[in-house]
Amino acid sequence: MREDISKISKWGLGLVFLAALLVLPQVLSYSQREIAVLLVINVLLVASYRLMTLTGEWSLGHVVIMGVGAYASALFAKRLGVPVPVSMFLGASTAGLAAAVLSFPLFRMKGFYFLIGSFAAGEVIRLVWKYFSTPFGGPKGIKLIPGFPDIGPISMFEPENYYYLCLAVVSLSLFILYRIEQSRIGLTFHAIHWQDKLAESVGVGTFRYRMLAFVLASFFAGLSGALYAHYIGTINPTRFDVEEMVFVLIWAIVGGTNTFFGPIIGVVALTIINEIILRSLGFDSARPMIYGALLILSVLFLPKGLEGVVQKAGRIFKARKAPEPTVRREQNA
Amino acid sequence: MRLTSTPRRISRRELLLTSSAAVTMLATTGAPKFAFGADKTVKIGFLAPLTGAVAAWGKPGLDGCQIWSDRVNNAGGIEIGGDRYKVEFIAYDNEYDPGKARTGAAKLIKEDGVKFIMMLGGDTWPGVQPMAEREGMLVSTLLPSDLTPDTKTLIAPCEVHPIYNVTGVQWLAENKPDMKTAVICAQDDALGKPSVATYLAAFEAAGIDVIDEPLFFDPATTDFAPVMTRLLSGKPDILCLDTCYADYVHPLCEQAFQQGFQGTIISCTADFYPKIIEKTSKEFMEGFVFQFPDFDDPALNDANVNFSKPNEFFQEYANRFGESEWSAVSWEYASIMDLWADAASKAGSIEPGDVLAAMKSSGKGKHAFGDADWWGEELFGIDNALVGNWPVVVIENGKAVIKEYKSIPDWWNQHSDLVIKHFRALGQMWDQRG
């Protein structure tokens, strides 16, 4: 009975959260809606990164993989005239394909070596974009990328409408990512992370599973890149450099990576602080310094990340709500 | 007998009463025109990097604009269509990111109601372009390489980067004819490449031999020792630092100094050059050629110069922010505001379309360094760049000195084919970009 109530309250909470996300653009200013679009895209990026980290490997090339999706989708749409929704899917698939190819050299390495290897692979891809002006546009990148087509009178240039599109795509993607993590495949990813030799000894093909995690994570990172490219209308190699990757790492670390929602909490909290609160307080020039200070403080005082705070708050809330155990009441009597 | 009195402390209530009475009296009896003359405010957007690697080309410009607006507002504002307007700058840090630039443009246009936006341009302009075009917003860039035939509301009224770099090479060839060989390096990005194309054209026109392929280094480079070793391996007379950011010019100069370079350095900018001198030596930096003067230079009082009271502007900048903080862009955005104010007064309107039409009505404009022409069709596909004279600046005895004003159109009329040839070779013509 209590389990049923808990399930119902979870669903209720989920519905309230969804309703809040749907109403959100109505309470935001025009520029805040722009920020909301980029935030939703970054949620997908950081959630896909977490899938990658499930097998224990931290990559420094995830933002470049996002760029692969962005470049591929932009080129399919601009050069080949592929409809944008299709080109987005093709862009995401290209990112997955690139990850599959990169898996062969990269998964010969582990831990720190994988980290450096992924950085090097990412830089090679970025240099290719820079060096070959045709078709990648060189250092200036690609401009005038076709936007998502308007749906009847609904203009996809407007941030409010694009926000709903992104929300739908990202929600579906998060659902798929969540289901993967909860499935047997997800459990295998965890097993490889904590006991890869033991997993191998019981017949788990660790290379194949690592590759699968990398390809899936890259597909969704590529999708986030495609969503970005067709909204902003321009991409260049600098947009996907290691500095951007550092932001993804910060979001994941500050949010925490133990739960599915940790990195999402991280990106949402830090974006609101950086893009809305600090800007509205007039700290434009001091933002990097304050952002850095917040990072240091959170590492020092929130070692489990923001997800730890949320979990703690949840436990306190549950403890207050739960009825006193019958046994204790009887003892007291 | 000496009378003494203990100073009486004024209570908060008394202070408030006295102040409000004074304000009421001033308002009713008629304050001087200059203090209360401007009854309206026009908002101008400043959308540039204020943090990050490119902040040196944004933040000092915003500082310069504050001085400009204080000057104008203290003088009673600008007279436009019979009203006097005060000017208020609203800044948004785009971090040199096109996505953030789009957000910034949306805020400035839709929420703040600005009538004109000043940008650094470059990578950030394509993010702003659709919004600016839909809203008919007048936008300025410091980088004319953003111009294409489609960018009808984008103007480059101050810098015709990188074309003015030809004047430095021309001066060098005329004044140091024994310098016959050169090498070039630049960061591999949207600023570096068109500038390299321009320097290649200028060296070719001047008969100076570029002895090696231009060296493009990655913008993430931090160790410039190998870059400089390769550059100096051919023993060039001239070391060309192209349009490198300040973060690169400084270590490159340090490396050239440490590796014993004896020739002449030419560069588009030498931002914060006193700091380079500190790291090298006055003797090493002697003869360094670049394109951006300090505004305390007496040559800026030339009758042809349109920038208002440049020496006072520099002094005020130095007082507020420190002389060593002066950079290439400290005056540029302010000079664009001079043009905007002039055009708005002429148009009798602050609306972007009216101001743009007034600005370009005669085909000429009052550029900071003298009267200039709206130009650019051949190179950018649109005549939205204001081009005229540009100064050649040389460091002498530790101080930047204007040596000469040279005409960019005169050089262009003789050598345009060379620029177009090198632009095309590096894929920098407007029809080759993106």
**pLDDT tens, position by position, B248-286:** 999 999 999 999 999 999 999 999 999 999 999 999 999
Chain B residues with CB inside 8 Å of A288's CB? Answer: 51-52
Query: 3-class secondary structure for B382-406?
Result: CCCEEECEEEEEEEECCEEEEEEEE
- Nearest-CA distance from B311 to chain A in Å? 28
The secondary structure element, H or E, covering residue B130 is: helix B125-135
Average the pLDDT over B164-182 and give the result: 97
At B91, is the pLDDT very low, low, confident or very high (cuts 50, 70, 90)?
Answer: very high
CB distance A139–B102 less than 8 Å? no
Chain B residues with CB inside 8 Å of A228's CB? Answer: 99
Interface of A with B (CB under 8 A): 29-31, 34-35, 38, 127, 130, 133-134, 137-144, 147, 157, 159, 228, 232-236, 238-239, 241-242, 275, 279, 284-285, 287-288
CA dihedral A95, A99, A100, A101 (to 10 degrees): 100
Residue A271 has pLDDT above 70, yes or no: yes
Most A CBs within 10 Å: which of B102, B109, B114, B426, as the mutation test of the A interface? B102
CB < 8 Å from A in window 66-95 of B: 91-93
Q: Where are the domains of chain A?
A: 31-240, 241-323
- Cβ neighbours of residue B84 closer than 8 Å, sequence gap 6 or more: B37, B38, B39, B40, B76, B77, B78
ipTM score assigned to the predicted complex: 0.88
Residue B10 has pLDDT above 70, yes or no: no
Nearest Cβ partner of B123 from A38, A236, A279? A236
* ω into B130 cis (within 30 of 0): no
pTM of the model: 0.85
- Cβ neighbours of residue A288 closer than 8 Å, sequence gap 6 or more: B51, B52
Average the pLDDT over B82-92 and give the result: 96
Letter string b/e over residues A237-256, b meaning 16 or more CB atoms within 10 A of that residue's CB? bbbbbbebbebbbbbbbbbb
Alpha-carbon span A211 to B101, nearest angstrom:
37
At B71, is the pLDDT very low, low, confident or very high (cuts 50, 70, 90)?
Answer: very high
At B325, which amino acid appears?
E
Alpha-carbon span A96 to A103, nearest angstrom:
10
CB distance A232–B102 less than 8 Å? yes
How, if at all, do strands B364-367 and B370-375 pair? Answer: antiparallel
| Residues forming a β-bridge with B373 | B364, B387
- Cβ neighbours of residue A119 closer than 8 Å, sequence gap 6 or more: A60, A61, A242
> What pLDDT was estimated at residue A327?
52
- Burial of A14 per CB tally in 10 Å (0-12, 13-18, 19+): exposed
What confidence tens digit (pLDDT) does each residue in B342-398 have?
Answer: 999 999 999 999 999 999 998 999 999 999 999 999 999 999 999 999 999 999 999
Alpha-carbon span A221 to A95, nearest angstrom:
8
Establish if B123 touches chain A: CB-CB under 8 angstroms: yes
Average the pLDDT over B52-61 and give the result: 89
Q: What is residue B187's DSSP assignment?
A: E
The secondary structure element, H or E, covering residue B284 is: helix B282-285
In order of start, what are the domains of chain B with their CATH numbers? 36-161+304-387 (3.40.50.2300), 165-290+391-432 (3.40.50.2300)
Alpha-carbon span B49 to B52, nearest angstrom:
7
What confidence tens digit (pLDDT) does each residue in A16-26 have?
Answer: 888 999 999 99
User: In chain A, where does DSSP find H-type helix?
Assistant: 2-27, 30-53, 62-78, 84-106, 111-131, 133-136, 159-182, 184-194, 196-201, 206-232, 242-255, 262-271, 278-280, 287-301, 305-321, 326-332
Q: Is B260 left (phi over 0), alpha (psi -120 to 50) or beta?
A: left
**In a 3-state reduction of DSSP, which class is residue B289?**
strand
How, if at all, do strands B78-80 and B83-93 pair? Answer: antiparallel
> What pLDDT was estimated at residue A182?
93
- Burial of A17 per CB tally in 10 Å (0-12, 13-18, 19+): exposed
Establish if B127 touches chain A: CB-CB under 8 angstroms: yes
**In a 3-state reduction of DSSP, which class is residue B87?**
strand
Residue B87 has pLDDT above 70, yes or no: yes
Place of tokens 């990164």: A49
CB distance A133–B52 less than 8 Å? no
Chain A residues with CB inside 8 Å of B127's CB? Answer: 232-234
Tell me the count of A-B CB pairs closer than 8 A. Answer: 97
- Cβ neighbours of residue B325 closer than 8 Å, sequence gap 6 or more: B60, B63, B272, B317
What confidence tens digit (pLDDT) does each residue in A37-75 have?
Answer: 999 999 999 999 999 999 999 999 999 999 999 999 999
The secondary structure element, H or E, covering residue B240 is: strand B238-240
CB distance B126–A242 less than 8 Å? no
Q: Could you tell me which chain B residue has the CA closest to the CA of A33?
A: B103
> What pLDDT was estimated at residue B19?
45
**In a 3-state reduction of DSSP, which class is residue B117?**
strand
Mean pLDDT over each residue of chain B, to the nearest integer = 90
> What pLDDT was estimated at residue A299?
84
CB distance A141–B220 less than 8 Å? no
Chain B residues with CB inside 8 Å of A36's CB? Answer: none
DSSP string, B135-181: HT--EE-S-GGG--TT-TTEEB-S--TTTTHHHHHHHHHHH-TT--E
Establish if B37 touches chain A: CB-CB under 8 angstroms: no
Q: How far is CA B62 from the centre of its chain?
A: 11
Average the pLDDT over B176-195 and give the result: 92
- Nearest-CA distance from A25 to chain B in Å? 15
CB distance B50–A284 less than 8 Å? yes
How, if at all, do strands B209-210 and B181-187 pair? Answer: parallel
- Cβ neighbours of residue B287 closer than 8 Å, sequence gap 6 or more: B264, B265, B394, B395, B396
What confidence tens digit (pLDDT) does each residue in B19-46 have?
Answer: 444 444 434 334 444 444 558 999 999 9
CB distance B433–A142 less than 8 Å? no
Most B CBs within 10 Å: which of A127, A232, A235, A246, as the mutation test of the B interface? A232
CB distance A30–B106 less than 8 Å? yes
Alpha-carbon span B251 to B269, nearest angstrom:
14
Q: Is B71 left (phi over 0), alpha (psi -120 to 50) or beta?
A: alpha
Within 13 Å, how many C-alpha atoms sit on residue A222's CB side? 26
Q: Of A142-151, A296-305, B3-12, where does the model show the most confidence?
A: A142-151
- Cβ neighbours of residue B131 closer than 8 Å, sequence gap 6 or more: B102, B105, B106, B109, B137
**In a 3-state reduction of DSSP, which class is residue A178?**
helix
What are the φ and ψ backbone dihedral angles of A242, each rounded to 5 degrees?
-65, -25
Nearest Cβ partner of B130 from A141, A233, A241? A233
The C-alpha angle with vertex B194 and arms to A230 and B210, in degrees rounded to 5, equals 145
CB distance B103–A127 less than 8 Å? no
